[in-house]
Amino acid sequence: MLAPESFSAYLTDDLKWTAVLGRDTCAETAFVYCVKSTKIFCRPTCPSRRPRRENVEFATDSIQAQVMGYRSCQRCLPEGLASPHEARQGIAVAHAQVIIREAVQAGRPVPSLVELAEMVGMSKFYFLRVFKSSVGLTPVRFARNLRGTVRTVRS
């Protein structure tokens, strides 16, 4: 979550529009912009084509935008708590955890870091960083902890 002082950087509509044009990641949670012609609201970082300025108004959050009669963008998913990027990372980590858990429970060897990364569509270094920051453990340690749990349950 951004610090409250970061929201003060977007007090005027002109500053918000500049953030939208630049796809400013600092503005990710500060506001949403609403497109009058399509009745859709987006995050400032949405990769969609930029609308004309005269067709844009701003809302403080997705709830206000919905009250104003707009619906959520299907591309940037502004209603979600996490950014689409974070959501994809979460899905990849959850998929890797399922793969590891199934291997441990079946008594099979756990796939290597390279294999896991390929299965979730990431480089091994990026996958390791994302997995560790999300779970708090490396995939190997995660598997070791599961093995200990499985042995205790089977005993």
Catalytic residue, from 42, 59, 104, 130: name it.
42
34 is catalytic: no
CB 90 within 8 A of CB 82: yes
73 is catalytic: yes
Angle at 18 between CA 13 and CA 19, to 5 degrees: 95
Catalytic residue, from 46, 93, 96, 116: name it.
46
Catalytic residue, from 30, 40, 76, 104: name it.
76
42 is catalytic: yes
Taking the CB of residue 145, how many other CB atoms lie within 10 A of it? 14
Catalytic residue, from 56, 73, 117, 130: name it.
73
Q: In terms of DSSP bridges, do strands 40-42 and 56-59 run parallel, antiparallel, or are they unpaired?
A: unpaired
52: phi > 0 → left, psi -120 to 50 → alpha, else beta; which?
Answer: beta
- How far apart, in Å, are the Cα atoms of 82 and each of 24, 35, 89? 16, 22, 10
Write out the catalytic residue numbers: 42, 46, 73, 76
